[in-house]
């Protein structure tokens, strides 16, 4: 079975009038899940889902996808994820991006995957920003657009993604989607190097030599 590599979640239920009670019940459901009491966990998630808790929708969907229920149902999993995503749960949006990229219930649909990456990216998700940037960079589900790729790699880089820091540096170095700027390239290679990217130190040395000779 193709699997979506995302965990079950416990997080704040901001905006819900029954937040305290819902959070407590969600914690109990997760404790049951982690203890292997899957039937109890599913029952609790289902009850919370019927109360409109997006995290419960998400967690119950994950149990369907992982085959942890007596009758796993991918159609129901998708319905739950879409409902949670419509309520702006970023993790559900990312899961739907993976769903369509992998073709979990049929053929892969890269355009739909990019749609969900975009919604997550717009909410500040680093994973969504990287995936959306890559979709634009490769023309994967979207028309190839180096300017948009640079924009979203830069956003992810600002949010601390090391791979994005290296990639936006490379784009500044080569003038891909942005005006060529070796000093900005050096800036981002330096940050990537400080954050542990293995290739960035060599690029820094190379750029330093070029800038000194300029």
- CA–CA separation, 90 and 97 (whole Å): 11
pLDDT, tens digit, 9 for 90 and up, residues 6-53: 555 544 343 444 455 566 688 899 999 999 999 999 999 999 999 999
Record the tokens describing residue 26, joined without a space: 């969600």
**Domain assignment of residue 178, yes or no:** no
Q: How would you label 47-83 residue by residue, b for 16+ Cβ within 10 Å and e otherwise?
A: ebbeeebbbbbbbbbbbbbeebbeeeebeebbebbbb
Q: Which domain holds residue 5?
A: 1-101
**Domain assignment of residue 117, yes or no:** no
**Domain assignment of residue 160, yes or no:** no
- CA–CA separation, 212 and 124 (whole Å): 37
**Domain assignment of residue 72, yes or no:** yes
**Domain assignment of residue 157, yes or no:** no
pLDDT, tens digit, 9 for 90 and up, residues 153-200: 999 999 999 999 999 999 999 999 999 999 999 999 999 999 999 999
**Domain assignment of residue 40, yes or no:** yes
Q: What is the structure's pLDDT at 172?
A: 98
From the list 125, 121, 124, 123, the residue with the least C-alpha distance to 135 is 121
pLDDT, tens digit, 9 for 90 and up, residues 107-117: 999 999 999 99
pLDDT, tens digit, 9 for 90 and up, residues 53-80: 999 999 999 999 999 999 999 999 999 9
Q: What is the structure's pLDDT at 26?
A: 87
**Domain assignment of residue 3, yes or no:** yes
Record the tokens describing residue 108, joined without a space: 């892969």
pTM of the model: 0.87
Query: If you search the block for the tokens 């919370």, which residue do you land on?
Result: 48
* 212 pLDDT tier (thresholds 50, 70, 90): confident
Task: Quote the number of domains for the chain.
Answer: 1
pLDDT, tens digit, 9 for 90 and up, residues 116-138: 999 999 999 999 999 999 999 99
**Domain assignment of residue 59, yes or no:** yes
């Amino acid at each position: 079975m193709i699997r979506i590599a995302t965990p079950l979640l416990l997080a704040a239920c901001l905006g819900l009038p029954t937040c305290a009670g819902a959070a407590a019940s969600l914690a109990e459901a997760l404790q049951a899940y982690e203890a292997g009491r899957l039937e109890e966990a599913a029952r609790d998630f289902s009850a919370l889902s019927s109360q409109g808790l997006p995290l419960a929708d998400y967690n119950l969907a994950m149990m369907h996808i992982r085959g942890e229920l007596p009758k796993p149902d991918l159609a129901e999993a998708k319905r739950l994820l879409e409902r949670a995503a419509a309520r702006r749960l970023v993790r559900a949006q990312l899961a739907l991006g993976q769903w369509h990229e992998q073709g979990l219930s049929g053929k892969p649909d890269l355009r739909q995957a990019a749609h969900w990456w975009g919604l997550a990216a717009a909410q500040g998700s680093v994973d969504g920003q990287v995936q959306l940037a890559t979709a634009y960079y490769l023309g994967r589900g979207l028309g190839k657009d180096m300017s948009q790729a640079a924009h979203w790699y830069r956003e992810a880089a600002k949010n601390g993604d090391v791979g994005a820091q290296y990639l936006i540096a490379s784009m500044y170095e080569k003038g891909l989607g942005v005006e060529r700027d070796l000093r900005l390239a050096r800036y981002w290679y330096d940050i990537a190097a400080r954050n542990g990217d293995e290739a960035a130190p060599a690029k820094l040395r190379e750029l330093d030599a070029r800038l000194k000779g300029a």
